[in-house]
């Protein structure tokens, strides 16, 4: 039988989220290596997956530690807020997961370990400081979300210019989406003392900043086609859908920088990012 505290630690990890981060690492490796990803061997693939899972899990646990007072009001059933697990025990859980993540990455080489360590430190910085810092926190989220791409490069040991473009596209899109999310959260952020861009600049100027980031990501999307790095039929149709979504949301959020529009926009952009990930994966599997 799993103890009550062990189950609480599992809940803190948010297993579904962490499973997705591990999957993103594997997707990144497929993008870099295509069908040759099998040449890495099952052992290295499992270690790469475990790194993403455990580092993400560590960040999730720390997020609840940082938000314990908020959760006591908004989510009193959470393990920490309800007292099922103590803060000290949650810290032990966080450090154990971080150790497992870094230990999983160590056999893969120095650079994968450095990238994994960077991911963990980003999570720590964001949870303890960044989430209340405004735009610096947005940058941390965008970098952490896109980190599976450079991690895949480090594991594969090759530099693939196509994945550098994908990395930039994901980073810019996530950064724009974080700004849009802040437009939706202005009232709560103002009460919490968060210095987000919409609070400092106002909603419309922030909407313009988000739209610029989206449109730069759109402008980068044809590069793999221009360079001949992807099969046009495998890449172009899905990426075109993503580009249309980003252009549409750029126009919409500038014209209507309201909380209601921002809430709808962030969901649509998230779906666009999922379609984009499928496009990247398909292009990697099909090849040129």
Q: What is the pLDDT of residues 179-229, one digit of tens each?
A: 998 998 888 778 777 788 999 999 999 999 999 999 999 999 999 999 988
Interval 219-254: pLDDT, tens: 999 999 999 888 999 999 999 999 999 999 999 999
200 lies in the same domain as 230: yes
Determine what percent of the chain is predicted with pLDDT higher than 70.
Answer: 97
105 lies in the same domain as 194: no
189 lies in the same domain as 216: yes
Identify the CATH number of the domain in which residue 83 sits.
1.10.357.140
Structurally, how many domains does the chain consist of? 2
- The most confident of the ranges 31-35, 85-89, 109-113, 125-129 is 109-113
Q: What integer best gives the mean pLDDT of the chain?
A: 88
Q: What is the reported pLDDT for 27? A: 84
pLDDT for 2 beyond 60: no
262 lies in the same domain as 240: yes
Range of the domain at 59: 1-157
Location of structure tokens 């979300």: 145
Name the residue among 127, 130, 9 with its Cα closest to residue 78: 9
Last residue of a domain, one of 126, 157, 188: 157
Q: What is the reported pLDDT for 11? A: 80
Q: H or E element: which one contains 177?
A: helix 161-184
Q: What is the reported pLDDT for 1? A: 40
Q: What is the reported pLDDT for 272? A: 92
127 lies in the same domain as 191: no
54 lies in the same domain as 153: yes
Last residue of a domain, one of 157, 180, 202: 157
27 lies in the same domain as 130: yes
Determine what percent of the chain is predicted with pLDDT higher than 90.
Answer: 49
Identify the CATH number of the domain in which residue 234 sits.
1.20.120.1780
- The most confident of the ranges 22-26, 93-97, 247-251, 260-264 is 247-251
Please spell the DSSP secondary structure of 92-159, one letter per residue: HHHHHHHHHHHHHHGGG-HHHHHHHHHHHHHHHHHHHTGGGTSHHHHHHHHHHHHTHHHHHHHHHT--
104 lies in the same domain as 37: yes
149 lies in the same domain as 10: yes
Classify the C-alpha dihedral 134-135-138-140 as positive or negative.
negative
| Structure tokens that stand for 282 in this block | 């398909």
Name the residue among 98, 57, 82, 106 with its Cα closest to residue 5: 82
In angstroms, the Cα distances linking 66 to 4, 69, 195, 243, 255 are: 22, 8, 18, 36, 36
**Collapsed DSSP state (helix, strand, coil) of residue 180:** helix
- Residues 6 or more apart whose CB falls under 8 angstroms from that of 162 comprise 31, 224, 227, 229, 230, 283
Name the residue among 142, 141, 149 with its Cα closest to residue 167: 149
Last residue of a domain, one of 157, 175, 195: 157
180 lies in the same domain as 217: yes
pLDDT for 81 beyond 80: no
81 lies in the same domain as 164: no
- Residues 6 or more apart whose CB falls under 8 angstroms from that of 79 comprise 8, 9, 11, 12, 64, 85, 90
């Amino acid at each position: 039988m799993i103890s009550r505290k062990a189950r609480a630690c599992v809940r803190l990890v948010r297993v579904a989220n962490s499973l997705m981060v591990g999957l993103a690492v594997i997707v990144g490796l497929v993008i870099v290596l295509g069908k040759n990803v099998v040449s890495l061997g099952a052992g290295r693939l499992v270690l790469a997956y475990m790194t993403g899972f455990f580092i993400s899990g560590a960040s999730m646990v720390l997020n609840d530690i940082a938000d314990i007072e908020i959760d006591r009001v908004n989510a009193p059933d959470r393990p920490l807020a309800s007292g099922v697990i103590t803060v000290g025990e949650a810290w032990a859980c966080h450090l154990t997961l971080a150790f497992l993540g870094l230990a999983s990455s160590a056999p893969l080489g120095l650079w994968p370990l450095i990238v994994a360590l960077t991911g963990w430190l980003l999570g720590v910085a964001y949870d303890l400081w960044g989430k209340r810092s405004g735009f610096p926190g947005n940058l941390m989220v965008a970098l952490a979300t896109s980190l599976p791409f450079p991690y895949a490069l480090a594991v594969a040991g090759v530099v693939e210019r196509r994945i550098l473009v994908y990395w930039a596209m994901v980073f810019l899109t996530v950064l724009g989406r974080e700004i849009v999310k802040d437009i939706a959260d202005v009232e709560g952020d103002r009460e919490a003392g968060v210095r987000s861009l919409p609070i400092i600049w106002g909603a419309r100027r922030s909407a313009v900043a988000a739209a610029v980031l989206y449109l730069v990501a759109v402008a980068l999307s044809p590069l793999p086609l221009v360079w001949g790095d992807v099969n046009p039929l495998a890449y172009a149709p899905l990426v075109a859908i993503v580009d249309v979504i980003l252009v549409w949301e750029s126009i919409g959020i500038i014209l209507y920088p309201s909380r209601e529009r921002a809430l709808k926009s962030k969901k649509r952009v998230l779906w666009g990012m999922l379609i984009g990930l499928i496009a990247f994966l398909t292009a990697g599997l099909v090849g040129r």
